[in-house]
Chains A and B, each alone.
Chain A
């Protein structure tokens, strides 16, 4: 019954007018961010961070605001998938497969409502899962020493590429690039400057936010310049929004299965929401078989990926809060916020910062109902926002990013770095090299090295210290560390074979 007490504490915080207002504002902004093509959840949250700091919010408030934006973006991503055949964010990719054909067949409103309800089911179940699983996992996390943490970081980087990327070497390179950038600066153990090229600006290392704004927001602007914003303008008419009760009833088991599967995908460190929507779509397609008609515009094909990606979004918060290892690009941004606010995620969070954690969970439960209201009866408001032309939107995004970074760090050098990361992000994405591992590498590289070096101190320099993590029991290998290491190796190799079996479905083109 501890969980009920904790939830009661959480709701006492979440229901204060100020927190409630932030949650509603976050949901609204988030849905817009998700719906607009070119503004995904991670760069949406990233460019909001400077604004959060200038509002000088406390830890709970800023976390509530930013996670509401995150949840909102996950809901909103489907709107442009269905109406424009352009995913509003990466996890919504799978929703285009059946959402757009449905819209072309004149059922755009039905598709929006079904996917909205599926998002709600997925996100709600995942938030409940978070409330149950996170405290349990945080108890296990107390057992973690440096050796276990190193294995965990390795697992996160090895599974990042996953089935959703196309080339394991490129995904691995992206992680290496991020970790290599994280090494720049003063060595935390000895204080010697490393790889700075004697540039004083680099002694503090490369700021994580600079990298993320450059890699995500600025590189997106370059893509819009390349395509000259041709991708806008919906040719699908949205009729009157009615609730298709029959369809919703028909997809009830799909939503339930996809929520559970998506949640599991989200909890895996490094995997995230894109994997959640991919796996659920492929699984449901397999269950329905040939006569299921997936890809031609069936309600199940809309419900499955939306329940899956929203459940994964909630699941990704579990490793982020309990272990400090984010499960996706956006949770990496949230982790960076926590660290900047002087809160160290990890098992102690659930003991020392109860208000923050449970306030957050309670706010997310409330946010889900707010989002359901915004995304079903009020969906037309957001459809209107899609009509903002890229020629007005993208310059504004660029300027908000640049000024936001400038207001945080006040340095020209960081602005130049933002542009440099923008160019890098453009080249990487052109080369089909994922950018999320770069971000995670920059964020976690330093911690990964530290845990490895601490493990080596404990074992006196022997590599066996990665498995025999407790010097007091030299014959007793750590089950957690060895399990994680095996999972890391399997997680890296398995996609190479699975990729041939699980072909990525192609988007329909007009």
Chain B
């Protein structure tokens, strides 16, 4: 079927179309150079659309996509990393880092005890490295934890 390349190519064409539209909407400045701020992005969008067309009409072999379980692990890890990004400041460095590393470690090799040990080790080790060897300003725990 070779459906992946065709779908991806269609997405590329659609994306390029939106991109070119957006580029046409760029406000023209008063004193523009001969080419102006629109032409180059529009050109890039058109070339990308041509590449998309090639992918639709001469697709490659199907890539081996992961099975459902691996796919869900990857989606889960993505959500975890986003949550990690938001928790870094309010919750301090140590706890979110330990949890995030332990979960990722478990996803790679499902050994719960070892994942917890790796998580704690990575969290404390990196904190020491970043804070004391490299002098980054990190907070180990939430700042208002100790008042």
Contact = CB atoms under 8 A, between A and B. Distances in A.
Interface string B28-65: 11011111010011001101101110110010100101
A226 B66 contact: yes
Interface in A424-475: 426, 430-432, 445, 449, 452-454, 456-457, 460-461
A380 B51 CA distance: 47
A176 interface: yes
A225 interface: yes
A350 interface: no
A194 B33 CA distance: 16
B109 A390 contact: yes
Most buried by B among A169, A170, A415, A419: A169
B3 interface: no
Contacts of A222: 74, 77
B44 A179 contact: yes
B37 A192 contact: yes
A283 to B, nearest CB: 27
A176 B70 CA distance: 30
B78 A419 contact: yes
Interface in A18-35: none
Contact of B51 (A51, A176, A225, A449): A176
B35 to A, nearest CB: 5
Contacts of A187: 26, 29, 37
A365 interface: no
A58 to B, nearest CB: 17
Contacts of A172: 47, 51
Contacts of A192: 26-29, 37
A394 B45 contact: no
Contacts, number: 186
Nearest to A390: B108
B138 to A, nearest CB: 8
A181 B52 CA distance: 17
Contact of B118 (A169, A395, A406, A445): A395
A54 interface: yes
Contacts of B126: 396, 399-400, 403
Interface in B107-147: 107-111, 114-115, 118-119, 121-123, 125-126, 130, 134-136, 138
Contacts of B89: 412
Interface residues of A, number: 64
B55 A173 contact: yes
Nearest to A433: B8
Contacts of A176: 44-45, 47-48, 51
A411 B58 CA distance: 42
B104 A394 contact: yes
Interface in B75-116: 77-78, 81-82, 84-86, 88-89, 93, 97, 100-102, 104-111, 114-115
Contacts of A391: 105-106, 108-109, 111, 114-115, 118
B74 A426 contact: yes
Nearest to A189: B33
A400 B55 CA distance: 36
A229 interface: yes
B37 A190 contact: yes
Contacts of B107: 225, 228
B81 to A, nearest CB: 5
16 contacts: A55-B134, A190-B31, A226-B73, A228-B70, A391-B118, A395-B105, A395-B108, A399-B97, A399-B123, A415-B85, A419-B81, A422-B81, A431-B5, A449-B40, A456-B35, A461-B34
Given A228-B108, A452-B35, 7 more contacts: A173-B12, A173-B52, A192-B27, A389-B109, A399-B97, A402-B85, A406-B88
Interface of A: 51, 54-55, 166-167, 169-170, 172-173, 176-177, 179-180, 183, 187, 189-192, 194-195, 218, 221-222, 224-229, 389-392, 394-396, 398-400, 402-403, 406-407, 412, 415-416, 418-419, 422-423, 426, 430-432, 445, 449, 452-454, 456-457, 460-461
